[in-house]
């Protein structure tokens, strides 16, 4: 074996010597220095001996030019099967072997698997006939698909004849069949071939032309330089793996002379490039171009190897750093433990838990203290690496973190509480009065108990925000959580500790968060509780919100009773009808109706405008929002029951004002008192320049004065800030026509007026019927049928000769058609509308009514009295008819709500008839 261990500079100088142990007198006459390098480095052959030179990655070898000559006859005979009958040049018709992965280069082995039985039999037969040659051609990728290697091979073996020929590259390699074992065939490449035509289809046999390299000048400097660079790059590649060095040995053994073309083939064959790039090298017959292509592939191989080395180095450094840190930490722990500076983890945890419970040990219930002690003993017996250890540690962490017997000092000063509640909210008298009652009872008893209060009302009336104010008035810690859409009981009652990632319920989390056992807990959206596969949270809330049971509330995770009797629960809901009955029975309902216009004006002026002005950075002297503009904003843009939309509109106004002020230079920049004289002078000069520029560029319609510009927002320019009015007058008629009566309705957004319209469709004897439209619900449809029957009975009494209902088809409609409507309270309105049409008589002007009517004409009570009264005032109604049973509800309304209204209370429809159809004087 020959070893050349020169550096790359020695290679470029081409100074290599060749010596043989058997034939020392023989010298090789080289035609050029480069050929000396190739023939000396990569081996040569003569009739008596074979000189072989291998690249070696060890550049520190002492003998730089020693050569060892070995007789290669036995090795060559073992590798290349003798062909006594034919030479490779004689094979112009060969079997076509598809290569799915990479092309076969001359001088290289390639094992392939032949799945086609006919093709395999033909190969065996040709080898028996002393013609062991076939053509190996790379398979083209199937267009429009990216199959896996196994799929590609399977598809290839299914192709036959011309289909297979079309999938093969034209240029391939004449391959010698060295062995066949089962379906595995081992090939050695010899020379390039090109397919000319197909001879037979199964197995595919083709005619080929033997390709030769294009003529080239061996003494060309460019080719020499490229070859030297290929050799240098090969030398670097061979250092990376011993596998490549084995390739050199095999290639040199079977290919003979190592010249320029074979150097290019060798470089491309050992590279890890894709098959198309290798096929490009195989098809290239120009030696210089082939060397260039091979050099590119080798360079890419080196770059990939460098990236691989950098990745491996980075990972190795990271691992060694982490191992070093781990060892140092372990040594540090051991040193601290030997010096007594630190105990083990279990002792430290136990001390931490005991430090938590020792200050309040007398306040902790005995049964809880017993559980804590048992768990602490259990913790000492468990291994720190066991899963049970972590479960016990987390359990003790929760148990010891709860505020057992720790209560905040409550405020029993009624006047101070009243002041705090009035500071934060306008109106809400019922809620404030109930909280003051709660404080008064607590003061007389000397201690306070928990309560469950439910605030119900439309969105935006302040249900959630009043909870925080109540907590401040009572000097209690505040905690809020929403149960809207909650469908898992474990959120309320906690998980069992056996589950992975188990946690206590919301109430235990609340107590740990606030640190006291008597917080105010606001449970938001209790009317929107869900129900799923994980149970019914509404049923789980029964224990939590029951004053008789929550003194021993049992969480599944803690599994010890917790006293929640001191907690004040405040729930919020939009509608109480969707709250389950048993849960509703445990709560004290305080309805919060919508605000009337006067209340909205006060809220906007005293609360919303002030907060919005501060949030936008606008000073009071810079804005003048008139009362007329505020009233127009409420009437034409924000008619809903709450004030959330009103706040949005005020914020919109102030944002536009802020933009106006900034654009016109009215912003107030803070002055710095610590500036020196020079800075102050420069700033003054800058302000003078800016003033002059702004004065020159002001438009004529802007009113500038030396003082800060004041923006006026009145009713005339309100649309410039908030756009066109959203609402128009709810009142459709100044005087309702025949068959039209105004009713009063209640929705989740508050009260509204509702017109009932009837008209005659057709008339004829016996055609009496009723047709309903307006997207009415089932209850409202039944009310309409009842109204039709009662109206027919009343008309028979008042005017026996009028046969209108018997002979007329009547159409009853409730606008607007796109709004769903349901409920029984429109019964008296429907009767009045039908009678107005039948008697051809208009009802009294500015009249509105509401009430459910039975078949006998009795008027039953309805709900939402305050909301309906507010809606009537907003629409300019002067006279309202309510059921007699609702008189108590009306008397409880504030005087400003009842002011200017003529309200009549009735219990029979005949009274409504007299009021609705009386003759105006």
Tokens (6 digits) for 784: 């309409």
Q: Compute, in degrees rounded to 10, the torsion defined by CA atoms 234, 236, 238, 239.
A: 170
| 347-368 as b/e: b if 16+ CB within 10 A | eebbeebeebbeeeeeebeeeb
β-strand pairing of 879-883 with 847-849:
parallel
Helix (H) or strand (E) holding 906: strand 902-906
Paired strand residues for 455:
572, 590
Tokens (6 digits) for 503: 């946690």
Annotation says 40 is catalytic: no
Helix ranges restricted to H, 340-386: 345-357, 366-381
Please pick, among 493, 844, 868, 875, the residue that the annotation labels catalytic. 868
Which residue has 């030769």 as its token pair? 212
Residue from 713, 610, 613 nearest 654 by CA: 613
Prior bond of 327 cis (ω within 30°):
no
> In 148-282, at which residue ranges do the beta strands (DSSP E only) sit?
171-181, 184-200, 205-210
Please pick, among 40, 271, 825, 836, the residue that the annotation labels catalytic. 825
Residue from 234, 290, 274 nearest 41 by CA: 234
Helix (H) or strand (E) holding 571: strand 568-573
Paired strand residues for 200:
205
Q: Which residues contact 600 (CB under 8 A, 6 or more apart)?
A: 634, 638, 643, 646
The Cα angle at residue 251 between residues 177 and 89, in degrees rounded to 5: 50
Distance between the two ends of the chain, CA-based, in angstroms?
135
Which residue has 């307006």 as its token pair? 774
Annotation says 868 is catalytic: yes
Helix (H) or strand (E) holding 432: helix 429-445
The shares of helix, strand and coil residues in the chain, as percent rounded to the nearest 5, are 45, 15, 35
For residues 775 and 749, give the distance between their C-alpha atoms in angstroms, rounded to a whole number.
Answer: 19
Q: Which positions are catalytic?
A: 825, 868
């Amino acid at each position: 074996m020959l070893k050349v261990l020169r550096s790359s500079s020695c290679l470029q100088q081409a100074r290599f010597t060749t010596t043989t142990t058997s034939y020392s007198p023989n010298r090789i006459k080289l035609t050029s220095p480069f050929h000396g390098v190739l023939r000396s480095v990569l081996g040569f052959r003569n009739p008596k001996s074979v000189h072989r030179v291998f690249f070696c990655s060890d550049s520190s070898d002492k003998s730089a030019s020693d050569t060892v000559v070995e007789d290669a006859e036995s090795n060559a005979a073992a590798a290349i099967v003798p062909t006594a009958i034919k030479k490779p040049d004689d094979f112009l018709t060969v079997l076509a072997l598809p290569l799915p992965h990479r092309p076969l280069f001359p001088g290289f082995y390639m094992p392939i698997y032949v799945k086609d039985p006919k093709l395999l039999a033909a190969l065996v037969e040709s080898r028996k006939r002393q013609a062991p040659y076939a053509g190996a051609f790379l398979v083209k990728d199937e267009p429009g698909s990216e199959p896996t290697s196994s799929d590609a091979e399977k598809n290839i073996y299914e192709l036959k004849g011309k289909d297979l020929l079309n999938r093969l590259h034209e240029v391939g390699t004449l391959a010698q069949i060295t062995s066949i074992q089962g379906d595995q065939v081992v090939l050695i490449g010899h020379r390039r071939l090109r397919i000319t035509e197909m001879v037979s289809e199964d197995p595919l046999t083709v005619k080929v032309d033997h390709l030769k390299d294009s003529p080239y000048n061996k003494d060309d400097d460019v080719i020499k330089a490229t070859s030297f660079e290929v050799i240098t790059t090969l030398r670097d590649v061979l250092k990376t793996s011993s596998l490549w060095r084995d390739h050199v040995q095999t290639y040199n053994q079977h290919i003979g002379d190592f010249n320029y073309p074979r150097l290019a083939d060798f470089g491309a064959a050992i590279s890890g490039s894709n098959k198309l790039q290798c096929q490009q090298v195989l098809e290239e017959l120009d030696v210089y171009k082939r060397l260039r292509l091979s050099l590119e592939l080798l360079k890419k191989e080196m770059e990939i190897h460098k990236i691989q080395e950098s990745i491996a180095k980075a990972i190795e450094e990271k691992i060694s750093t982490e191992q070093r840190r781990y060892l140092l930490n372990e040594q540090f722990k051991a040193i601290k433990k030997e010096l007594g500076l630190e105990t083990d983890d279990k002792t430290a945890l136990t001390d931490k838990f005991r430090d938590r419970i020792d200050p309040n040990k007398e306040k902790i219930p005995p049964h809880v203290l017993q559980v804590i002690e048992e768990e602490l003993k259990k913790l000492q017996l468990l291994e720190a690496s066991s899963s049970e250890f972590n479960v016990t540690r987390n359990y003790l962490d929760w148990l010891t973190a709860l505020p057992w017997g720790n209560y905040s000092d409550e405020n029993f000063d009624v006047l101070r509480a009243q002041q705090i509640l009035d500071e934060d909210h306008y109106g809400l008298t019922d809620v404030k009065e109930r909280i003051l009652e709660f404080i008064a009872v607590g003061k007389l008893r000397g201690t306070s108990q928990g309560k469950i209060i439910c605030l119900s009302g439309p969105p935006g009336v302040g249900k959630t925000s009043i909870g925080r104010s109540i907590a401040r008035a009572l000097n209690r810690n505040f905690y809020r959580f929403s149960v809207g859409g909650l469908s898992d009981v474990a959120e309320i009652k906690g998980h069992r500790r056996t589950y992975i990632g188990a946690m206590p319920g919301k109430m235990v989390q609340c107590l740990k968060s606030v640190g006291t056992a008597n917080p105010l807990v606001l449970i938001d959206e209790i009317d929107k509780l869900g129900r799923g596969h994980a149970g019914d949270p509404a049923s789980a809330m029964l224990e939590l919100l029951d004053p008789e049971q929550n003194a021993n509330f049992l969480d599944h995770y803690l599994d010890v009773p917790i006293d929640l009797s001191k907690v004040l629960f405040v729930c919020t809901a939009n509608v109480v009808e969707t709250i389950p009955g048993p849960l509703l029975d445990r709560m004290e309902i305080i309805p919060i109706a919508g605000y009337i216009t006067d209340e909205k004006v006060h809220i906007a002026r005293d609360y919303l405008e002030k907060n919005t002005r501060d949030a936008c950075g606008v000073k009071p002297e810079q804005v003048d929002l008139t009362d007329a503009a505020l009233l127009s904003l409420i009437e034409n843009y924000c008619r809903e029951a709450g004030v959330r939309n009103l706040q949005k509109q005020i914020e919109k106004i102030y944002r536009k004002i802020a933009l106006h002020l900034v654009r016109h230079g009215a912003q107030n920049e803070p002055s710095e008192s610590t500036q020196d004289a020079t800075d102050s002078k420069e700033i003054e000069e800058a302000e003078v320049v800016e003033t002059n520029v702004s004065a020159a560029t002001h438009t004529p319609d802007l009113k500038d004065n030396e003082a800060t510009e004041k923006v006026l927002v009145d009713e005339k320019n309100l649309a410039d800030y908030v756009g066109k009015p959203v609402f128009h007058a709810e009142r459709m008629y100044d005087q309702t026509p025949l068959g039209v009566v105004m009713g009063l309705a209640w929705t989740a957004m508050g009260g509204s007026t509702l017109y009932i319209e009837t008209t005659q469709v057709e008339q004829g004897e016996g055609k009496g019927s009723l047709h309903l439209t307006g997207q009415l619900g089932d209850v409202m449809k039944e009310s309409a049928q009842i109204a039709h029957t009662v109206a027919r009975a009343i008309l028979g009494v008042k005017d026996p000769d009028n046969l209108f209902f018997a002979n007329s088809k009547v159409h009853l409609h409730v606008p607007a058609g796109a709004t769903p409507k349901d409920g029984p309270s429109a019964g008296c309105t429907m009767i009045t509308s039908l009678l107005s049409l039948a008697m051809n008589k208009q009802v009294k002007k500015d009249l509105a009514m509401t009430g459910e009517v039975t078949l006998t004409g009795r008027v039953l009570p309805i709900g939402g009295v305050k909301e309906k009264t507010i809606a009537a005032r907003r629409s300019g109604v002067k006279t309202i008819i309510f059921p007699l049973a609702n008189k108590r509800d009306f008397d409880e309304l504030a005087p400003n709500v009842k002011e200017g209204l003529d309200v009549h209370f009735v219990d029979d429809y005949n009274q409504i008839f007299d009021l609705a159809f009386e003759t105006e004087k």
